[in-house]
Amino acid sequence: MRAAVLRDPALGLQVEEIKTPHPRDGEVLVKVTACGLCHSDLHVIGGKIAFPMPAVLGHEVTGEIVEVGPGNQHTGLSVGQHVAGAFLMPCGQCDYCAQGRDDLCAPFFDLNRIKGQLYDGETRLFALDDEPIAMYSMGALAEYCVIPATSVAVLEDSMDMVSGAILGCAALTGYGAVRRGADLRYGESVAVVATGGIGSNIIQVAKAFGAEKIIAIDVADDKLEAAKALGATDVVNSLKQNVREAVFEITDGRGVDVAFEALGRPETWASALDALRDGGRMVPIGLGAGVQTAAVEINRTVRRSQSILGSYGARTRQDLPVVVKMASEGKIDYQHIVTRRFPLEEAGKGYELLAQGKIQGRAVVDMSL
């Protein structure tokens, strides 16, 4: 099969012919329809976050199940189903998974995120000469990918399979930030700092959960316009306005109940913390480019009883089916978020545009192109 392989950050992604993988126990083989291009991949492609190479990236995917591995009797999965695959693939058996905390699954971090393997300590991807190729999540920038059954949700037949690719990371992470990280309540006010692929979904899920004010904060006016169309009630361009002054003016001098941070830089942390009311919750979702720190004003955080609640993905087995339902019911507009489609051969170009801030919403690789 064809796959976009990363052998060296200096060379970038190169499409190669590699062996078509096969599912093992509790896994399915998916013929990829589309795969979203997420900012997290940029950290790996740029060599900022360490990952074994060669590797196949791509961690938000839709496709059709073409083979069901053994041990799937109770999963309800069968050949021909259309599914979305989540980047956070819980093993289903560790202590955290037993507590329902798929987002903390230990084997996912230890084996997949560090070594590019699945839970038997092996990858499913091999070059034609049998060289092992690491999998970042399921390694979906390819014609086929193997996904653990824990990490797929069946799509309605009526759903757009190409745009649906964003459900497994951008929408799932947005849902996790709102439902799990913030535990947002009806009528609360929120700010969303950085309204890219993830931020756009946070806005929509916050609206669905009944947020009263949704203040989008970004440095690009076109992204702020798009944020309004998705449900932002107010927008602030942090290059042109002082974030704290603007947010406090919009919230009658109080600040927001919840400030989401969706980029992972010191300046976006500062914006999110500056937007908070007394007793507010700051929910960072953005990943730093490697080991990175941000400043937190000690006395303001302590005296004003503010919380910082990191949020990674979501609880895949509980939350991915809800995200799919919200999308099928129009609560998450996953179709208009996808603004660019690239063939597999141009995945590298798509990531370049993403790194330059030139992708509004989300770009996807569409395998039919």
Ligand X SMILES: NC(=O)c1ccc[n+]([C@@H]2O[C@H](COP(=O)([O-])OP(=O)(O)OC[C@H]3O[C@@H](n4cnc5c(N)ncnc54)[C@H](O)[C@@H]3O)[C@@H](O)[C@H]2O)c1
Could you say whether residue 286 binds ligand X (CB under 6 A)?
yes
Pairwise CA distance, residues 38 & 196, whole Å: 10
Only one of the segments 2-10, 162-170, 226-234, 267-275 lies at the binding site for Zn ion (rule: CB under 5 A); that segment is 162-170
**Considering only residues 21, 196, 348, 350, which one is a binding residue for ligand X as defined by CB under 6 A?**
196
CA distances to 47, 127, 132, 292, 365 from 7, in Å:
11, 12, 12, 25, 19
The angle subtended at Cα 47 by Cα 364 and Cα 134, nearest 5°, is 70
**Considering only residues 3, 5, 35, 40, which one is a binding residue for Zn ion as defined by CB under 5 A?**
40
Only one of the segments 110-118, 279-287, 301-309, 322-330 lies at the binding site for ligand X (rule: CB under 6 A); that segment is 279-287
Could you say whether residue 124 binds ligand X (CB under 6 A)?
no
**Considering only residues 81, 238, 251, 316, which one is a binding residue for ligand X as defined by CB under 6 A?**
238
Pairwise CA distance, residues 64 & 87, whole Å: 17
The entry of Zn ion, ligand X, none that residue 224 binds, CB within 5 to 8 Å by partner kind: none
Residue in this structure with the two tokens 């084996």, named with its chain if needed = 111
Beta-bridge partners for 281 = 258, 307
Could you say whether residue 251 binds ligand X (CB under 6 A)?
no
C-alpha dihedral sign at 145, 346, 114, 259: negative
The entry of ligand X, Zn ion, none that residue 166 binds, CB within 5 to 8 Å by partner kind: none
Are 337 and 163 in contact, with CB atoms under 8 Å apart? yes
**Considering only residues 56, 105, 125, 344, which one is a binding residue for Zn ion as defined by CB under 5 A?**
105
- Residue 158, both tokens: 């009526």
Task: Give the strand pairing for 55-56 and 132-135.
Answer: parallel
Cβ 172 to ligand X, closest distance in Å? 8
Cβ 252 to ligand X, closest distance in Å? 24
Sheet strands (E) in the chain: 2-6, 13-17, 27-37, 55-56, 61-68, 82-85, 125-126, 132-135, 144-148, 152-154, 189-193, 213-218, 234-237, 256-261, 276-284, 307-308, 338-342, 362-366
Could you say whether residue 8 binds ligand X (CB under 6 A)?
no
The entry of ligand X, Zn ion, none that residue 26 binds, CB within 5 to 8 Å by partner kind: none
The entry of Zn ion, ligand X, none that residue 344 binds, CB within 5 to 8 Å by partner kind: none
- DSSP class per residue in 129-153: T--EEEESTT--SBSEEEEEGGGEE
Could you say whether residue 273 binds ligand X (CB under 6 A)?
no
Only one of the segments 151-159, 165-173, 242-250, 255-263 lies at the binding site for Zn ion (rule: CB under 5 A); that segment is 165-173
Cβ 337 to ligand X, closest distance in Å? 10
The entry of ligand X, Zn ion, none that residue 91 binds, CB within 5 to 8 Å by partner kind: Zn ion
**Considering only residues 18, 45, 236, 263, which one is a binding residue for ligand X as defined by CB under 6 A?**
263
Residue in this structure with the two tokens 């949020």, named with its chain if needed = 311
Could you say whether residue 264 binds ligand X (CB under 6 A)?
yes
Interaction site with ligand X (CB under 6 A)? 38-40, 169, 173, 193-199, 217-220, 223, 238, 262-264, 267-268, 285-287, 311-313, 354, 357
